[in-house]
Amino acid sequence: MPAVEGNLQGIVVRILVRISVCRVLAIWVTLMFLPAEYNTPLGSVVARFIVKHATNYFPIKVIFEDKEAFDPNQSYVIAAEPHSVLPLGIVILTPQSGVLPVNKLRALASNAVFWSPLVRHIWTWLGVAPVSRKSFSEFLKKGISCIVCPGGVQECLYMREGSEVVFLKQRYGFIKVAMEAGSPLVPTFCFGQSNAYKWWKPRGKWYNQLSRAIGFTPMYFWGRFGGPVPFRTPMYYVVGKPIPVSKITNPSHEEVSVVHGKFIGALEALFEKHKRDLGFEGSTLEVY
C-alpha cells in the first residue's frame, strides 16, 4: 500500500505541475496576441495593484522641494535619475500613483523593454511608452508631461559600489526636446534605488566596447534569495524645482549647452542637499 500511495502522490504532483505550466503558457500566448493598450479597465486594475504594493514593499516616498511651483496644465520633462540596475523606484511617479501634480503624464522607456509580451503589457498599463524623439516631442506639445531617465542603461557601464552614477555629460537630446516644446525641466533623484539589487559585471575595454555595440550593459544581478525579487530597501524620490526654459524652435548647440549645464548643476545641488537627511551622508554622485 505505501508503494501505491507513493505512486499516486507522484502522479498527482506531475499532473499539477503540468497544469500549472499549461496555465503559464496559456497566459503567455494570450498576451502575445493581446494588444498592449494604455488605460484599459484590466490594465488600470493591474497598474494600481502594482503601484500600491511596490510602493509599500520597499517602501517608496516622494519628497517635493516646491510642489506649488508646478502648473497642472503645463507639460514638464521629469528627468529621473539614476537608472541603477533597474529604475524600480519610478513606479511611484507613474500616472496611476497620482503623486506628480500634473494633469497628463506618460513615462518613456527603451524599446527593448517592450520585446517580451508580459513585460510589454505591464509597462504599457503603467503608462510607459516606447521612447523616440518623435513621441517625446509630440507628448510634450500635447501638454503631456514625460518622465525620462536621460542616462539610461548606459549608466550601468559606469556603476561602482559605494557611489551613485549618472551619465549626462553627453546627453543633450532631452534638453533640446524640452526647449523646442517650452517644457520646464524637473531634476529628480531616487535615493536608495541602487541598493535594490547586488550586481557583478566584467571589466576591461572589450566589455565597454561590447556594451556600446549592443546598446545595453550585460551584467549579472540578484535580489532576495539570489533571485529577481529586489531587496526591501527604503527609497526616496526627491523631485526638484522646475527649471524654466525658453521655447525655441531650433535651439543652437550653445543654447542647449547652457540649459544642460543648469540641469546638471541643479541635480548635483539636489543630491548634496538631501543626502544627509535621508541617510546617505557617505554617498557621492559621479557625473559622466
Q: DSSP letters of 36-100?
A: --TT-HHHHHHHHHHHHHHHHHTTEEEEES-GGG--TTS--EEEEE---SS-GGGGGGSGGG--S
pLDDT given for residue 174 in this prediction: 98
What amino acid occupies position 57?
Y
pLDDT given for residue 123 in this prediction: 86
What amino acid occupies position 236?
Y
Q: For 256-283, what is each residue's pLDDT tens digit?
A: 999 999 999 999 999 999 999 999 999 9
**Cis preceding linkage at 242, omega within 30:** no
The grid coordinates of residue 230 equal 529586489
Q: Which fold, 36-287?
A: Glycerol-3-phosphate (1)-acyltransferase (3.40.1130)
Q: How many CA atoms lie within 13 A of 241 on its CB side?
A: 11
> What is the mean predicted confidence (pLDDT) over 51-77?
96
The grid coordinates of residue 284 equal 557621492
| Mean pLDDT score across all residues of the chain | 88
| 11 confidence band (pLDDT: 50, 70, 90) | low
Identify which has the larger pLDDT, 153 or 238: 238
Query: In 3D, which of 174, 137, 144 has the Cα closest to residue 72?
Result: 144
Min mean pLDDT across 109-113, 123-127, 177-181, 187-191 is at 109-113
pLDDT given for residue 161 in this prediction: 84
The continuous run of DSSP H or E covering 124 comes out as helix 117-125
Query: In 3D, which of 62, 74, 87, 60 has the Cα closest to residue 242?
Result: 74
- The pTM assigned to this predicted structure is 0.85
**Rounded-to-integer distance, Cα 68 and Cα 62, Å:** 15
**Rounded-to-integer distance, Cα 134 and Cα 172, Å:** 15
> What is the mean predicted confidence (pLDDT) over 97-122?
86
Q: For 163-221, what is each residue's pLDDT tens digit?
A: 999 999 999 999 999 999 999 999 999 999 999 999 998 888 888 788 777 767 788 99
**Rounded-to-integer distance, Cα 127 and Cα 107, Å:** 6
Q: How far lies 277's CA from each of 9, 24, 116, 132, 190, in Å? A: 57, 45, 39, 37, 14
Identify which has the larger pLDDT, 179 or 24: 179
